[in-house]
Amino acid sequence: MIELINVSKTFDNQVEAVKDVTLRIKPKQIFGIIGYSGAGKSTLIRLINLLEKPDQGKVIVDEVDLTTLDQKQLRQSRKKIGMIFQRFNLFRSRTVFANVRYPLEGSGLTNIEINERVNELLQLVGLSDKADSYPSQLSGGQMQRVGIARALANRPKVLLCDEATSALDPQTTQSILKLLKELNKKLDLTIVVITHQMSVVKDICDEVAIMDQGSVVEQGSILDVFYNPTYEITKQFVHSADNIDKVDEYLASKRLELAQDENLILLSYSNINTQEALIYNMIKQFDIKVNILFGNIELIGDNPIGWLVIIIGGKQQDESLAYLRANGVRVEVKHYV
């Protein structure tokens, strides 16, 4: 549905906001782009609807290369692409109804058709009872629902979301993400979600790209990327809510020293058979001492990914780790005597 091919954008001849990015986003996908502030995410998403013109590269949406279009054709093509924003960007002096109506004005529909469409859109986002309210009378979540209704007015195939939940509290964020997921299914909508929040990607995205300093440094299915993060920034995002990467710091701060025969091990697993009592078996079968330091389980889509930092001691450590590996657990030795 969306193809960016070797796209670059430099501002003022010096700030390379987007560097040679190539991305393919399949129809009906929810595709996440995650990165820290300044990584180039907003520029990248604005390149998708050509609000920013690339210095080089192709931007293909629904089989049309937008970089080849004149202004009039571009306006037409943009109707296939809706967009929502962190600050909602509503008209403060217009009612909810009039905000959603705005993109339909001059569309060739009759007044009756427009009104029908607006009512349908308000129903879709659960705001039928707020048609006559003004933005100032709404909560953040309701304002974003208006933003979504307005973005969908022209029945786009693609919805671009630039930090759409970043101004919302966690509970409201959840309700907006749930709505996006519903719309994705119900309307076969392709959704691109830009965020600096790991939880957003984890909850709704099928695929993800990680951006750092203008480049896409890693991309793939969320399970692959988050289970096998290779890039440092990706690891930071994956472990942003736990202490898994802080083991060395922790050991140092606690002045915790490993005994002669003790080793520090990071275990991780995804989707393994949880029926089998692996740790119990390991202890019993190989007479191993296990001390659990940290643990964390994340649900990535429907798949659990678990991490466990343990100290093990005993004579048959090699055998016990081989047993875990044979059962699909990834074993990463942090310190081994």
Ligand X SMILES: Nc1ncnc2c1ncn2[C@@H]1O[C@H](COP(=O)(O)OP(=O)(O)O)[C@@H](O)[C@H]1O
- Which spans of this chain sit near ligand X (rule: CB under 6 A)? 11-12, 15, 17, 35, 37-43
What is the dihedral sign for C-alpha 168, 145, 198, 8?
Answer: negative
Query: Which listed option, ligand X, Mg ion, none, makes contact with residue 253 (CB within 5 to 8 Å by class)?
Result: none
Rounding to the nearest 10 degrees, give the CA dihedral for residues 137, 139, 142, 147: 80
| Residue 86 near which of ligand X, Mg ion, none (CB within 5-8 Å, type-dependent) | none
Residue of 130, 189, 206 lying closest to 1 (CA atoms) = 189
Return the number of the residue (42 or 263) whose C-beta is nearest Mg ion.
42
Q: Determine whether 188 is exposed, middle or buried from the number of CB atoms within 10 Å of its CB (0-12, 13-18, 19+).
A: exposed
Least separation in angstroms between residue 41's CB and ligand X is 3
Q: How far is the CB of 83 from Mg ion (least distance, A)?
A: 13
- The distance of closest approach from Cβ of residue 162 to Mg ion in the complex, given in angstroms and rounded to an integer, is 6
Q: Applying CB under 5 A, which part among 7-15, 39-47, 111-119, 145-153 lies near Mg ion?
A: 39-47
Q: Which residues between 179 and 218 bind Mg ion (CB under 5 A)?
A: none
Alpha helices in 228-326 (DSSP H): 232-238, 247-253, 278-286, 317-326
Which residue's Cβ lies closest to Mg ion? 42
For residue 139, list its beta bridge partners.
none
At its nearest, how many Å lie between ligand X and the CB of residue 25? 18
- CA–CA separation, 44 vs 160, rounded Å? 11
Quick one: which of 9, 40, 42, 218 contacts Mg ion (CB under 5 A)?
Answer: 42
Q: How far is the CB of 162 from ligand X (least distance, A)?
A: 7
38 DSSP 8-state letter = T
Of the pair 17, 216, the CB lying nearest ligand X is at: 17
